[in-house]
Structure 1
Amino acid sequence: METAKAILETRGLSRSFSGFVAVNDVNFSVRERTIHALIGPNGAGKSTLFNLLTRFLPATAGQIYYDGTDITHASPASLARQGLVRSFQISSVFPHLSVLENVRIALQSRHGETMDFWLSDRRLRKYDEEVMSLLADIGLENYAQRIAIELPYGRKRALELATTLAMNPRVILLDEPMAGMGQEDIQRTSALIQKVAQGRTVLMVEHNLSVVADISDTITVLRRGEIIAEGTYDIVSADPEVRQAYIGGAHD
């Protein structure tokens, strides 16, 4: 079977803060149309690497490539327009707008009408069919008129995923999508991630190793800013260095 091409790559990527090296000479690649998990103990450099990939932090050294193009100095906004879209650890929806309005704003952004809140109802309604289709994909169609702040936590995270999908991404970067969730929401969100990954690429930072084991195609393990292992869950979980650094102490 032909191996999928790399959609996101780093070469010698490093980031230091006042002499402290948070990410050190990282070379890795994310294959197109796969779910790729980034794991490691606290302080391993996962969040820093995520911020480098999405250009919320500049690199000290090295290069980042997206679909073969050097994006090391690109802006986060330009990357989003190119289909590299990030969803944050802390829910970033507009709390006092409805579910429908939140997703509609994301669609407006994609069509260059981000701040046009004064558009007529007729102009805004042109987005509603696509909004409802997205909400149906996420299982939120019955929540369309609910105010976001009133949603249960798991549904609020699903709404965030819907706004991310509204940007029509090729690559979705998820920062701890299961954080703060109960088991029922974790199962629902895992299924959603697998569903939205069909035809897309997902890179996620995640601490829940059961989720990582169930849905990831590839796992990269970081420790002290360096990659110590990569492969399927069976491969990385059997690695003695990984078990010592992370898995052995947290997930026997």
Structure 2
Amino acid sequence: MDSHPAILETRGLTREFSGFVAVSDVNFTVRSGMLHALIGPNGAGKSTLFNLLTRFLAPSAGQIFYDGQDITKARPASLARRGLVRSFQISSVFPHLSVHENVRVALQSKHAETFGFWKSDGGLSKYDDAVDSLLADVGLEPYAQRIAVELPYGRKRALELATTLAMEPRVILLDEPMAGMGQEDIQRTAQLIQRVAKGRTVVMVEHNLSVVADISDRITVLRRGEIIAEGDYDTVSADPEVRQAYIGGSHD
């Protein structure tokens, strides 16, 4: 694993809600340059762990480390500036701006020009090449001038991914990126995530084991707030506890 050093790590991470333990003593390591899927059935604690990793929730106990530094008490905005960038389960784009403008706003934010909407198109043209490159990365070039609200659902998620990439993240955290999609969009989005993950570190929360089978380097399976299996797809899919959780239990 020397070629893939740890970039995000938890030690004894625990979160309680009024006596209910949603995440229990979790030791979780994400390695640089890998696509790491975090999966589990309903009530497994995936979303809670995701929110702890991104500091949208504070842990009851334990520590979180990013690039070797303790970030247990860091603010979410400071983590984003340091390259730990999350996308939300509900698409978070500006609905009445064009696809091109959405990505440009993300680039402006990265360069501390978030409030430069008043600038002339000429003044913002310096971002055009970067916008075009990001749209090409996610297959949205033909949609550049479309208003975001008019996009099909799967394309909106691709746009959200483009705006995430505009922040030049070191670690991308995706919260159920296939939620609410039909089978065709799921396949397209899985291929997209696999493509943009090359050379990047991605953590993806997903409930469906089969969705992450072909795209993940490593899979961690949660059940009732605890890790029950970890490894590649062949390893976790053959694990008796995982089979019980998915075949004998309910799904998200």
- Normalising by the residue count of structure 2, what TM-score does the alignment of the two structures yield? 0.95
Superposed displacement of residue 26, structure 1: 0.5
Give the structure 2 partner of residue 81 of structure 1.
Answer: 81
> Are residue 144 (structure 1) and residue 155 (structure 2) matched?
no
Tell me, yes or no, if the aligned pair for 2:132 and 2:141 is still in contact at 8 Å: yes
Q: Mapping of 1:109-188 within 5 angstroms?
A: 109-188=109-188
Tell me, yes or no, if the aligned pair for 1:34 and 1:197 is still in contact at 8 Å: yes
Provide Cα deviations, 1:124-174, integer angstroms capped at 9, x if missing partner: 221111101110111101111000000011111100000000000111101
Q: Counterpart of 2:188 in 1: which secondary structure?
A: helix
Superposed displacement of residue 248, structure 1: 5.0
Q: Counterpart of 1:127 in 2: which secondary structure?
A: helix
Distance 1:103 1:74 in 2: 27
Give the structure 2 partner of residue 197 of structure 1.
Answer: 197
State the identity %. 82
Q: Counterpart of 1:215 in 2: which secondary structure?
A: coil
Unaligned 5+ runs, structure 1: none
> Are residue 25 (structure 1) and residue 25 (structure 2) matched?
yes
Range that drifts further, 48-57 or 111-120: 111-120
Give the structure 2 partner of residue 238 of structure 1.
Answer: 238
Distance 1:171 1:44 in 2: 23
Q: Counterpart of 2:246 in 1: which secondary structure?
A: helix
Return the letter of the residue paired with 2:81: R
Distance 1:239 1:191 in 2: 26
Provide Cα deviations, 1:72-111, integer angstroms capped at 9, x if missing partner: 1111111111111101111111111100111011001100
Tell me, yes or no, if the aligned pair for 2:93 and 2:160 is still in contact at 8 Å: yes
After superposition, the Cα gap between the structure-2 partners of 1:68 and 1:247, relative to the gap in structure 1 and judged at 3 Å, is farther
> Are residue 37 (structure 1) and residue 25 (structure 2) matched?
no
Return the letter of the residue paired with 1:220: T
Superposed displacement of residue 116, structure 1: 2.5
- Normalising by the residue count of structure 1, what TM-score does the alignment of the two structures yield? 0.95
Q: Which consecutive segments of 4 or more residues in structure 1 shift more than 3 A?
A: 247-251
Tell me, yes or no, if the aligned pair for 2:39 and 2:208 is still in contact at 8 Å: no
Tell me, yes or no, if the aligned pair for 2:42 and 2:250 is still in contact at 8 Å: no
Superposed displacement of residue 208, structure 1: 2.7
